[in-house]
Amino acid sequence: MSELKDLFQSADWKKEKHVPAIDAPDSAKKGEFFKVTVTVGKEIAHPNTTEHHIRWIEVYFLADGEKFPYQIGKFEFTAHGESVPGPNMSTIYTHPEVVCALKTDKAGTLFASSYCNIHGLWQSAKRVSVI
Query: Which position among 16, 95, 106, 126 bears the catalytic label?
Result: 16
Q: Of 79, 26, 20, which Cα lies nearest the Cα of 55?
A: 79
Neighbours of 94 (CB within 10 A): 15
Contact 67, 39 (CB under 8 A): no
Length of the chain: 131
Catalytic residue among 18, 42, 53, 80: 18
Residue of 42, 46, 53, 80 with catalytic role: 46
Catalytic residue (one of 95, 106, 119, 126): 119
Q: 119 an active-site residue?
A: yes
Q: What is the separation, in whole angstroms, between the first and last Cα of the chain?
A: 44
100 as an active site residue: the answer is no
Catalytically annotated residue among 14, 30, 35, 52? 52
What is the rounded distance in angstroms from the CA atom of residue 109 to the CA atom of residue 69? Answer: 9
Name the catalytic one among 15, 103, 116, 126: 116
For residues 104 and 52, what is the distance between their CA atoms, to the nearest angstrom? Answer: 36
Catalytic (active site) residue 52? yes
The partner residues of 74 in beta bridges, in order of sequence, read: 58
Catalytic hit among 17, 42, 53, 80 = 17
Give the active site residues: 16-18, 46, 52, 116, 119
